[in-house]
Structure 1
């Protein structure tokens, strides 16, 4: 039974320790706490205004002005019917008969003039001369 008083003692020490520990603040580390893990944060999406579908709106018409009546183009009158005019005839040209080449008249037939025959010496052989006979025949 000696163990009973020891157990009571131990129990009393534990009871006192809890009161002492309750009076002190909890121990904090002297160094700063480690950073929390970094998570990327994207910027928030822009605020979206709901728009209706786009309908084209033409600008308002200009204020009414009194305009002159529209101008109608007046073309010139058509030309009179075209009458073909042939070009004027060329100036009158005095007709000249065609030119015929006139060659000089041919020379008169050339007559060979031989030197006069030699005088015959009357001799015995003169009777047999044929040239003299011809002349005598021509003379007749």
Structure 2
């Protein structure tokens, strides 16, 4: 039974990337298609590697990290080492994202508080039954940072 192969166009279409992207990964020796003259012929191994590269990029891994992870499969420490390394990297990535999320949540809470203060001050200024406006150069409301 003949093994399935893909052209660069087929892989580009399947993974929704440009031909240039795939050639870039080839230049970095992350995929290594066979050649038939000028035509590139990608094996199942190349297809899986491309899939792993693209997944790694979506997860925020650098190309060097992705290369290291992928190459571990074919050399010592093998798949066991590859998986252990990947699990450690996942932990680091998750910790970083959780820190970022906490920072974002804190910033959003501060923005909510500042917005409430600004709206309250604006409502007070626009309320005809409220206190009269201060003379120019004088304010009657607290600064939002107080």
TM-score (norm 2): 0.16
The structure that is strand-richer by fraction is 2
Higher normalized contact order (CA 8 Å, seq sep 6+, divided by chain length): 2
Larger Rg: 1
The structure that is helix-richer by fraction is 2
TM-score (norm 1): 0.17
